[in-house]
C-alpha cells in the first residue's frame, strides 16, 4: 500500500491548470503515493486528461461519476484510498515537488492524526505566503486547536491572524486514513458552502495529536473564475445552511463566548458575501429598491439579525478593516441603501 493518497476532484477546470496540478503530483520526489482523480462529470476535456495520465503512470487512479458535487467526489476518494495518509488537492492548484517528501519525514517519526502545513496564495501577478500558526513547528494542544477553530470562523478573533482566512479549506492537511475512517468523517453533501470548514472543525476537535509545520508546500490559485466571484442565485440558502451547521458545532461541543463572537463576525461577513454574489451582482436585474429591500429582509432574518444585535461596535471595530467598519455601522442603524451602495463601491474599487 502507498504511504500517501492524494485526492483531486475534477470539474470544469481549465486544462492548463489541471495539467499543472497533475504534473506537480506525478513528479513528486517521494514516489510512494497514489493519485486519485475524481472526474465529477466534468463536461469538458478534464476526464480525458485524467485518463491520459493514468495510462502512463500506474499510481494514478481515475474514477468517473455523474456530477454530484465536490463533497461527493472527495468522499468517493476517501472510500477508495489505500494509503496510510490522505490529503486533498484542488484541480486548479498545485503542490511543491518535494511536498510529500517533507511531509513523509514528519509522519514517519510522529504518532499523530493530523498534520497541517502552510500555503501560498497565487494571484495572477503576485504570490502571498499564508501561514496558519506563529511557530515553525508546533505540537498543537487542545487550546491551540481551539484557536485554529476560531481562526476558521473569523481569523482576527484568534490569537494568530494570517493574511487570508484559509485554515478551513480542505487542502493543506494530511490526515491519518485510519483516523478518518474510525471517526467516519465525510464531507456534508447537503451543503454548497462551508462543507470543508465543517470537516476541518471536526478534525481539529477529534484528533488526539496534531502538528503544524510552517512549510509552504501548497499553491492556492486565486483568479477571477473562482467561485467566490460568481453569481450565486441561491446565495442566501447556501450561506444560511452552512451557518446553521457551524452553529450546531459550537453548541454540541459547548464552545465559549469567543467562538460565538467569531461566529457572529463570520455571519456579518456572509451578509457582504451574499450581497456580492446575489443582491449587488450585475446579473441581478431587479430594480435597485427591490434589491435594497431584499437586503433588509436578509438582515432581519436569522442568524443575521442576532449577529447585528449581539455584536458590539467597539469590539468589532478592533477586529475589522475600514469597509467592514463602515458596513457594520450601516447595518446596525438599518441604512440598507447606503450598505448596498458601499458594496457596489467596493466591487468597483477591486477592479483597479
Spans of all domains in the chain: 4-221, 230-349
Q: What is the pLDDT of residues 55-106, one digit of tens each?
A: 999 999 999 999 999 999 999 999 999 999 999 999 999 999 999 999 999 9
Domain 4-221 has what CATH class?
alpha beta
Q: Cis omega before residue 19 (within 30°)?
A: no
Q: At 212, list the grid cell.
A: 503544524
Stretch 143-169: mean pLDDT: 95
Give the angle 243-178-91 at the CA atoms, nearest 5°.
60
Give the angle 245-248-253 at the CA atoms, nearest 5°.
135
How far CA 253 is from CA of 121, 147, 288, in Å, comes to 31, 14, 42
Stretch 39-66: mean pLDDT: 97
% of the chain with per-residue pLDDT over 70? 97
Query: Which residues does 136 contact at the CB level (< 8 Å), separation at least 6?
Result: 213, 214
Phi, psi for 253 (deg, rounded to 5): -95, 5
For position 78, what pLDDT does the model report? 98
**Residue 263: closest CA among 241, 247, 251:** 247
Packing angle of the helix pair 142-153, 195-206 (nearest 10 deg): 170
- Cell 459550537, located at residue: 250
Query: 3-class DSSP state for residue 117?
Result: strand
Q: At 58, list the grid cell.
A: 500506474
* Total Cβ atoms within 10 A of residue 325: 14
Amino acid at each position: 500500500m502507498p504511504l500517501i493518497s492524494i485526492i483531486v476532484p475534477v470539474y470544469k477546470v481549465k486544462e492548463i491548470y489541471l495539467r499543472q496540478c497533475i504534473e506537480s503530483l506525478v513528479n513528486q520526489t517521494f514516489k510512494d503515493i497514489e493519485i486519485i482523480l475524481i472526474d465529477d462529470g466534468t463536461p469538458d476535456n478534464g476526464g480525458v486528461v485524467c485518463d491520459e495520465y493514468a495510462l502512463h503512470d500506474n499510481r494514478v487512479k481515475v474514477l468517473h461519476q455523474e456530477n454530484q458535487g465536490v463533497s461527493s467526489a472527495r468522499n468517493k476518494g476517501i472510500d477508495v484510498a489505500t494509503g496510510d495518509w490522505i490529503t486533498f488537492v484542488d484541480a486548479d492548484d498545485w503542490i511543491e515537488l518535494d511536498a510529500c517528501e517533507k511531509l513523509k519525514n514528519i509522519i514517519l517519526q510522529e504518532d499523530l492524526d493530523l498534520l497541517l502545513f502552510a500555503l501560498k496564495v497565487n494571484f495572477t501577478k503576485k504570490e502571498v505566503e499564508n501561514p496558519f500558526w506563529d511557530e515553525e513547528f508546533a505540537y498543537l494542544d487542545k487550546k491551540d486547536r481551539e484557536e485554529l477553530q476560531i481562526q476558521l470562523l473569523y481569523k482576527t478573533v484568534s490569537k494568530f491572524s494570517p493574511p487570508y482566512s484559509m485554515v478551513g479549506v480542505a487542502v493543506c492537511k494530511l490526515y491519518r486514513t485510519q483516523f478518518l475512517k474510525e471517526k467516519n468523517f465525510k464531507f456534508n453533501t447537503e451543503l454548497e458552502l462551508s462543507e470543508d470548514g465543517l470537516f476541518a472543525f471536526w478534525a481539529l476537535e477529534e484528533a488526539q495529536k496534531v502538528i503544524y509545520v510552517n512549510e509552504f508546500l501548497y499553491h492556492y490559485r486565486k483568479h477571477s473564475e473562482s467561485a467566490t466571484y460568481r453569481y450565486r442565485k441561491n446565495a442566501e440558502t447556501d450561506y444560511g445552511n452552512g451557518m446553521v451547521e457551524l452553529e450546531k458545532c459550537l453548541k454540541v461541543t459547548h464552545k465559549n463566548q469567543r467562538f460565538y463572537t467569531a461566529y457572529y463576525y463570520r455571519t456579518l461577513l456572509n451578509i457582504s458575501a451574499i450581497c456580492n454574489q446575489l443582491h449587488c451582482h450585475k446579473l441581478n436585474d431587479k430594480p435597485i429598491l427591490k434589491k435594497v429591500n431584499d437586503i433588509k429582509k436578509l438582515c432581519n432574518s436569522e442568524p443575521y439579525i442576532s449577529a447585528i444585535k449581539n455584536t458590539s461596535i467597539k469590539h468589532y471595530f478592533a477586529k475589522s478593516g475600514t469597509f467592514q467598519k463602515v458596513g457594520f455601522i450601516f447595518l446596525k442603524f438599518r441604512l440598507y441603501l447606503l450598505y448596498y451602495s458601499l458594496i457596489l463601491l467596493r466591487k468597483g474599487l477591486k477592479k483597479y
